[in-house]
Structure 1
Amino acid sequence: MKTLVAGASGATGKLLVEQLLRSGQRVRIIVRSSGNIPGTWSNHEGVEIIKGNVTEISVDDMVNHLSGCQAVACCLGHNMTWKGIYGKPGKLVAGTVRLICEAIAKTTSEKPIKFVLMNTAGNSNRDLDEPVSFGQRIIIGVLRVLLPPHPDNEAAADYLRVNIGPGNPSAEWVVVRPDTLIDLENVTGYSLHQSPTRSAIFNPGKTSRINVAHFMARLITDEALWNQWKGQMPVIYNDAG
């Protein structure tokens, strides 16, 4: 199996690529010329590197990049700098999701292509009646106005949920929602939930990036796990302790 990874030079994206390679998967990555990736990838037979800015790729070029891929994973996010938060492109994640989905629709894959999107527990799944307190609704409303990355994440997930939806012949999807991201060296125990079990604003949990990468890789490689979660937005928390 070959997976196209967008955002492979990011903190979680690098870990996802490593998890896929350990599973014996082949990986095609799209990284900017300035992207910081491990030197070992350049000579790894399982890694194919495409140099370019994903925001400048046409739909037809993305169709070519998807050739031979059975899955796509997106770990894109905004850098937490002034330029990264308020600069262009404001819809980095949503624009990339749309681009990839439009390209998937033009492919001739025999089976629907799996699309795994890394998102956030602060984004509600509007297909479900997820309980959100009045206070959290107020804070999220403020974030939509003041922090462009938040509505970008919402729009990206909504594109898959609404525009692709269930039963699409070209693509199936899972939106992975971690809570507060932390760095750990090794995979640890973690739990998966259909909806948040705690407030992402007032009582956030913790999720290690390597656990997110591990779960995303399992979704791509484990058919039973994929069938369990496809068309959903699972929340992932590190186990306590």
Structure 2
Amino acid sequence: MTTLVVGASGATGRLLVGQLLKRGQQVKAIVRSSESLPKQMKDNPRLSVIQASLLDLSDSEIAAHVRGCNAIASCLGHNLTFKGLFSHPRRLVTDATRRICNAIESTGATDSIKFVLMNTTGNQNRDLNEPISSPQKCVIGLLRLLLPPHVDNEEAADYLRAEIGQDNSVIQWVTVRPDGLIDQDEVTPYTLHASPTRSAIFNAGKTSRINVAHFMADLITNPKLWNQWQGQMPVIYNEE
């Protein structure tokens, strides 16, 4: 099996590449700079590194990278700097998600392809009408006005949920929602939920990036787990 990882040079993307390689996957990694990947990883014969910014690629180039892949995982996100939060591309995750899905459909693939999107618990699954408190609604409203990355995350997930939908003949998807991201060296026990069990604003939990990478890799390689969460937006927390 071959997986394309977009945003592979990021803090979680690098870990996902490592988790997939451990599982014997062939991996294509799109990175802005190959220097961000450990030498041991770059030397792995099952890894192909594509140095590029996804949105700078043409439609035909994206289709060429997607062709032959059984799964695509997006760990794209905005850097937590002023430029990363407020400059272009403001719809990095949404535009990448849309272009990848268009590329999948353009290849004429007949077998279903998995798409795993890393997102956030600050984004609701509108298919489930997840309840949130009035104070949290106010804060989310402010985030939509003040922080373009929040709207980007919402629109990317909504594109999969509402436009690709549950019955697409080629694209199956899962949107993974971690809570407050932290760094840890090793995979630790974690819990999975259909919806948040705590407030992402006022009572946020913790989720290690390595646990997110582990879960995303398991989704891609474990058919039973995929069937459990396909078309959903599971929330992942570190076990307390």
TM-score range, shorter chain: over 0.9
Partner AA of 1:100 in structure 2: I
- Runs of at least 4 residues off by over 2 Å: 40-43
Query: Are residue 140 (structure 1) and residue 140 (structure 2) matched?
Result: yes
Contact persistence 2:34–2:51 (CA under 8 A): no
Following TM superposition, by how much is the alpha carbon of 1:184 offset from its aligned partner in structure 2, in angstroms? Answer: 0.8
Q: Secondary structure at the match of 2:151?
A: helix
Following TM superposition, by how much is the alpha carbon of 1:110 offset from its aligned partner in structure 2, in angstroms? Answer: 3.1
Query: Are residue 159 (structure 1) and residue 165 (structure 2) matched?
Result: no
Q: Give per-residue Cα distances to partners, 1:71-114, cap 9 Å, x unaligned.
A: 00000000000000001100010010001010011123231110
Q: Secondary structure at the match of 1:117?
A: strand
Alignment coverage as a number of residue pairs: 240
Match of 1:113 in 2: 113
Contact persistence 2:27–2:48 (CA under 8 A): yes
Match of 1:98 in 2: 98
Matches within 5 A, 1:26-41: 26-33=26-33, 36-41=36-41
Partner AA of 2:18 in structure 1: E
User: Where in structure 1 are there 5+ consecutive unaligned residues?
Assistant: none
Q: Give per-residue Cα distances to partners, 1:9-58, cap 9 Å, x unaligned.
A: 00000000000000000100111147611122332111001111111112
Q: Give per-residue Cα distances to partners, 1:110-138, cap 9 Å, x unaligned.
A: 31110000000000001112111000000
Separation in 1 of the partners of 2:196 and 2:134?
Answer: 16
Matches within 5 A, 1:1-241: 1-33=1-33, 36-240=36-240
Partner AA of 1:132 in structure 2: I
Q: Secondary structure at the match of 1:181?
A: strand
Q: Secondary structure at the match of 1:29?
A: strand
Q: Percent identity?
A: 59
Partner AA of 2:133 in structure 1: S
Separation in 2 of the partners of 1:166 and 1:24?
Answer: 29
TM-score by length of 1: 0.97
User: Where in structure 2 are there 5+ consecutive unaligned residues?
Assistant: none
Q: Secondary structure at the match of 1:69?
A: coil
Partner AA of 1:65 in structure 2: H
Q: Give per-residue Cα distances to partners, 1:132-176, cap 9 Å, x unaligned.
A: 100000000000111111000001000100110001011000000
For residues 30 and 117 of structure 1, do their structure 2 counterparts lie closer, same or farther at Cα, with a shift above 3 Å needed?
same
Separation in 1 of the partners of 2:53 and 2:18?
Answer: 22
Q: Secondary structure at the match of 1:237?
A: strand
- Bigger shift: 126-135 or 215-224? 126-135
Partner AA of 2:170 in structure 1: S
Separation in 1 of the partners of 2:41 and 2:20?
Answer: 13
RMSD, matched Cα:
1.0
Q: Secondary structure at the match of 2:198?
A: coil
